[in-house]
């Protein structure tokens, strides 16, 4: 996967690209990230990338010219490139969207700032608009980082275990089951005995029940699209009955 990020603050990415999942993916040449400074493509002595909006109003708008020239400087990969603008109007990122985006060879991410980008960039140069949530950020840089992290985890070889990304929360539309490690007892709380039993089927059922219960309690909205099996439905009925009590 090749990521190219267009931003006026490329320095924000320096630490992010050296550590964690994405850092290892870059080191192992499974992911390549290019940073393009939009300011390098601005004209004039001050390299201005924004201006006052036509029609008046508060704030500044990112100019179309520098973004357009920066975008044209990016070498496209095999015709399998997608240009995405990080902005509040975009489709909210979720796991199915992440899987779909991971099928592209190259994602070119434009990080908006201030009051946004000139509408003509949106109309002429963007394939997709993406958002990481319904809240206000100063710019698209944090969104681009989240997007790269989420998608990189789906690329074969990036994570250690073959099933690591499959068993993550949201992969099956459910929250992940509780996890435990040593010591066996911590602050008088013991690891559930079933996890120490060595009985793989009992462990599987416990984890599935725990996942369903956690989802039902914390994110019941996810259950409607989770693709539940008949076994899952039975377990949910048992969970509901237990919660109602005698």
Is 168 a known active-site residue?
yes
Question: HEC string of 112-123?
Answer: CECCCECHHHHH
Active-site residue, from 153, 209, 214, 219: 153
First-to-final CA distance of the chain: 55
Question: In the chain, what's the furthest Cα-to-Cα distance?
Answer: 77
- H or E stretch including 244? helix 230-244
Residue that is written with structure tokens 């979720």 in the block: 94
- H or E stretch including 53? none
Active-site residue, from 40, 129, 149, 168: 168
Is 153 a known active-site residue?
yes
Active-site residue, from 115, 129, 149, 171: 115
Would you list the DSSP string of 170-228? TTTSSPPPP---S-SEETTEEPPGGGGS--HHHHHHHHHHHHHHHHHHH-GGGGGGS--
Active-site residue, from 40, 88, 122, 208: 88
**Which tokens hold the place of 24?**
């290892």
Residues forming the active site: 88, 115, 153, 168
């Amino acid at each position: 996967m090749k990521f190219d990020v267009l931003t006026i603050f490329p320095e924000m990415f320096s630490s992010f690209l050296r550590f964690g999942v994405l850092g290892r993916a870059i080191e192992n040449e499974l992911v390549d990230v290019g940073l393009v400074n939009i300011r390098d493509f601005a004209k004039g002595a001050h390299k201005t990338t924004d201006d006052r909006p036509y029609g008046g109003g508060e704030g500044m708008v990112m100019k179309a010219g520098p973004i357009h020239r920066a975008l044209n400087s990016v070498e496209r990969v095999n015709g399998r490139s997608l240009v995405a603008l990080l902005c509040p109007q975009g489709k909210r990122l979720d796991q199915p969207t992440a899987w779909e985006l991971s099928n592209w060879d190259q994602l070119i991410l434009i990080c908006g700032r201030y009051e946004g980008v000139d509408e003509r960039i949106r109309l002429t140069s963007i394939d997709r608009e993406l958002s990481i949530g319904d809240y206000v950020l100063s710019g698209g840089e944090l969104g681009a980082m989240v997007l790269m992290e989420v998608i990189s985890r789906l690329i074969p070889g990036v994570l250690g275990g073959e099933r690591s990304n499959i068993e993550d929360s949201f992969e099956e539309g459910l929250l992940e089951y509780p996890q435990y490690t040593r010591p066996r007892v911590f602050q008088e709380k013991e690891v559930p005995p079933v996890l120490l039993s060595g009985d793989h089927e009992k462990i599987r059922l416990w984890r599935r029940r725990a996942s369903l219960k956690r989802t039902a309690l914390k994110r019941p909205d996810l259950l409607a699209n989770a693709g539940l099996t008949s076994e899952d439905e039975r377990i949910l009925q048992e969970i509901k009955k237990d919660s109602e009590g005698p």
